[in-house]
Amino acid sequence: MSSAVQVARGPALDTTAQVETPEHIRFDYPLAGPTRRALAYLIDLLIRGGVLLVVGVVVMLVDTATGLDGMSIGALFVFYFVLDWFYYVLFETIWSGRSPGKRALKLRVVGQDGHSLTVLDSVLRNLLRAADFLPFGYSVGLVVMARDPMFRRLGDMVAGTVVVVEDPGRISERLHLHPPPTPAELEAMPARPPVSRQELDAIELLLRRRGTLAPLRELELAELLAPLLAERMAVSYQDPVRFLGLIYARALGHETIAPVEQPHPTRPGGGRR
């Protein structure tokens, strides 16, 4: 399955892009709106202006020293053209979708299919900057972004890209199962457990809360879902929390659940079906 980007609307100011990888791991990124993107553009504009000023001074000094009157103006126009057209392509290519301004504002350009920005994507989205700039001050680009649910300007629509806000703190540590699953436990599980994305999200939420809940409360929450999944897969279990952890690990293809110091007590009567 290929990766995909979807827009999820929550509260009015909580538009996010959901990127799901082929491994069924989903990342949620807030989409960058016009205001934040405008600030990033302003930073990049100041950087380009500073570079152009330094180069202009150097060219004028060389022009004066060599006596090549008028050459400095032409050289500056050529340099401005190169700087304006290749600044973003260069940085977005070597910095994985980030220019200095985007990096300062923690923004990144990604493909709508969930993959990293390619050179062709960057060239396409930046070629359309001239159209987005019309009639002046990126008026067209701002209007298009404000009306698009994914805050894309014309260049993004043509290139198939979106600009997202990076937040490293949103990425949680991988969970590990202790003790590790035994071959018998794994063989008892289907190779692809019949669980939905919502059910996996609920299981992960429970597993990440282990250690913050009382043992009996964990059992109570696990028993809301474990019997349904056990019946669906025609298997039995002793510890519902570990059973859900095994399903989660099997579904994602690796050993991933919260550490367990001691096994949880089971209810009187042994296992459940």
Mean pLDDT of 44-50: 93
Q: What tokens appear for 74 in the block?
A: 């032409």
Mean pLDDT of 119-147: 85
Q: Which of 92-106, 176-190, 216-230, 231-245 is predicted least confidently?
A: 176-190
Mean pLDDT of 169-189: 69
pLDDT score of 187 more than 70:
yes
Identify whether the C-beta of residue 136 lies closer than 8 Å to the C-beta of residue 82: no
* 246-271 pLDDT tens trace: 888 888 765 444 434 444 444 333 34
Q: What tokens appear for 255 in the block?
A: 């050993």
User: Which sequence spans correspond to the domains of the chain?
Assistant: 4-169, 172-273
Identify whether the C-beta of residue 30 lies closer than 8 Å to the C-beta of residue 15: yes
Q: Which helix (H) or strand (E) holds 113?
A: none
* 75-99 pLDDT tens trace: 788 888 888 888 999 999 899 889 9
The two most distant CA atoms of the chain are separated, in Å, by 99
pLDDT score of 11 more than 80:
no
Mean pLDDT of 117-131: 88
pLDDT score of 47 more than 90:
yes
Nearest to 211, CA basis, from 259, 148, 147: 259
pLDDT greater at residue 137 or residue 12: 137
Say what the pLDDT of residue 100 is: 95
3-state secondary structure of 182: coil
Question: How many of the other CB atoms lie within 10 Å of CB of 94?
Answer: 8
pLDDT score of 115 more than 70:
yes
Say what the pLDDT of residue 50 is: 93
> Which of 27-41, 89-103, 119-133, 188-202 has the highest average model confidence (pLDDT)?
89-103
Query: Beta partners for 29?
Result: 17
Q: Give Cα 231 to chain centroid, integer Å.
A: 35
Query: Beta partners for 30?
Result: 16
Question: How many of the other CB atoms lie within 10 Å of CB of 9?
Answer: 9
Q: Report pTM.
A: 0.56
Beta strand pairing call for 15-20 and 26-30: antiparallel
Round to whole Å and give the CA distance between 25 and 10. 20
Round to whole Å and give the CA distance between 223 and 225. 5
> Which of 44-48, 195-199, 216-220 has the highest average model confidence (pLDDT)?
44-48
Query: Beta partners for 5?
Result: 19
Say what the pLDDT of residue 130 is: 83
Say what the pLDDT of residue 110 is: 86
Q: How distant, in Å, are the alpha carbons of 59, 67, 79, 142 from that of 55?
A: 6, 18, 8, 31
Q: Give Cα 167 to chain centroid, integer Å.
A: 9
Round to whole Å and give the CA distance between 237 and 248. 14
Mean pLDDT of 20-28: 54
Q: What tokens appear for 268 in the block?
A: 């009187």
Residue 216 CB-density burial (10 A; 0-12 exposed, 13-18 middle, 19+ buried): exposed
Nearest to 159, CA basis, from 134, 131, 140: 131
Q: Which of 66-70, 129-133, 155-159, 255-259 is predicted least confidently?
A: 255-259
pLDDT score of 71 more than 70:
no
- Taking all residues of the chain, what is their mean pLDDT, rounded to a whole number? 77
The band of 114, judged by pLDDT with boundaries at 50, 70 and 90, is low
